[in-house]
Structures are given as C-alpha cells and as structure tokens.
Amino acid sequence: MSTDTHLAGLSGTIVHDEIVPARAPWLYHVAKGQTLRIVDLEGNQAVDFLLYSAADDAERYSAQDTVAAQGNLFLRAGTTLLSNEGRPMMTIAASAVDYHDTIGGACSCESNTLRYGHHTKWQHACVENFLEANLWEGRGKRDIVSNINFFMNVPVEADGALGIVDGISAPGLTVDLKAEMDVVVVVSNCPQINNPCNAFNPTPVRMIVAA
C-alpha cells in the first residue's frame, strides 16, 4: 500500500515523477492517454503552463478558443484545453482547487519593472523560464502565447476588473490533466515575489505522469 497521499485517486502506472524546484522551468512530453498530475506541494504556488502539439508545435494552447468554447473564463474540472486549431489538447480530469486562471498572463522582467519598480529588473520571471525551456527544443519568443496559471486566483469582478489576489490553493492540492493528443508541456514554476500569486514565497511543485 502506498502511503504517498499525492498519488491518491491516480490510476495507472507512474512513468514519471519529479520535483520542480521553486523558480525553475520544466518541459515534458505527455503522450495521448497519459495523465499529468501537478501537486502544489506547499500551497499557493502559481504554475505557469503552455502546451504544444508534439507532432507540430505550430499548434499550441489557445486561451481564447478554450474560453469561448466553454463560455466561461475559469478553468475547472471538465474543461477541455483547446488548441489554436480548435482541437482538444488536454482535459482537466480532476481538480482539488475550484478554478484556475488563463487570463492573468505570465510575469516578465519588463512587466515587473513597470508594475513594481526598476529595482525588480534583475528578478527571474516566468517569461525567462518559458524561453529557457522552449530553447531546449528550438522554440523562441514568438512561440510564447497566452498561458494557463494553475493554482492562481484571478477573480473577475462584476464590472470586469481583474485581481491577482491571495491563492485558493493549499498544500498538497492537485490538478489532473489527461492528454487528448501527444503534447509538449512547458512550465514555469512562477518566481514572482512582488504580488500574492505565490504568497510572496515561491515553492516547489511535483509533476507525476501516469500511463
């Protein structure tokens, strides 16, 4: 019997299990039919997330298509993540957190200086993580599109105003993503320390792939 609570409810054989350190990039190929579980180990850690088709990386996650198709801004259990060609890439099979964000974007050195002052220019940011991970497979700046922020809380007010507020995640909470095609997952374990998206304290996350 496994006493690893992070594996609870995950069926199949574990084919990959890795801790992504705080502030680090991550890239992994998830085959059609496999499930990627992301574990928010210490709670309130934003996991910035991009998806490409493994067969042709010109096909990639589209926030617009996903939001329009489901008629809702939030990503929840049951959401199908669609590509720019309208095809299902992954499905959120289960989520211990009520909803995830796909409109808040990814932090960058440039946006940090604009929002938080020039003294933050040296700080590592999600765009740099995306660039680093994508470079391993020959992708560049033009391949970075609107992303998903798992475990990040971006509420939308009645007047349409957005907030980046304290997270609704907690230690050990998970989200399960079932691949509907062979995909390349690119992640930035968000290094942001200037707003509450990581509770001002970036922490590790765990990536488990089951086949």
Least separation in angstroms between CB 107 and Zn ion: 3
- Between 35 and 129, whose beta carbon lies closer to Zn ion? 129
User: Which residues contact residue 115 at a Cβ distance below 8 angstroms, ignoring those fewer than 6 apart?
Assistant: 194, 195
- Between 89 and 190, whose beta carbon lies closer to Zn ion? 190
- Between 96 and 109, whose beta carbon lies closer to Zn ion? 109
Q: Please give the Cα distance from 164 to 65 (Å, whole number).
A: 23
Kindly list the residues in this chain that would bind Zn ion in the complex (CB under 5 A).
107, 126, 190, 192
Least separation in angstroms between CB 85 and Zn ion: 27
Mapping DSSP to helix (H, G, I), strand (E, B) and coil, where does residue 60 land?
A: strand
User: Which residues contact residue 119 at a Cβ distance below 8 angstroms, ignoring those fewer than 6 apart?
Assistant: none
Least separation in angstroms between CB 48 and Zn ion: 5
How is 126-187 classified by DSSP, letter by letter? HHHHHHHHHHTTT--GGG----EEET----B-TTS-B---S-S--TTEEEEEEESS-EEEEE
Least separation in angstroms between CB 11 and Zn ion: 32
- Between 101 and 176, whose beta carbon lies closer to Zn ion? 101
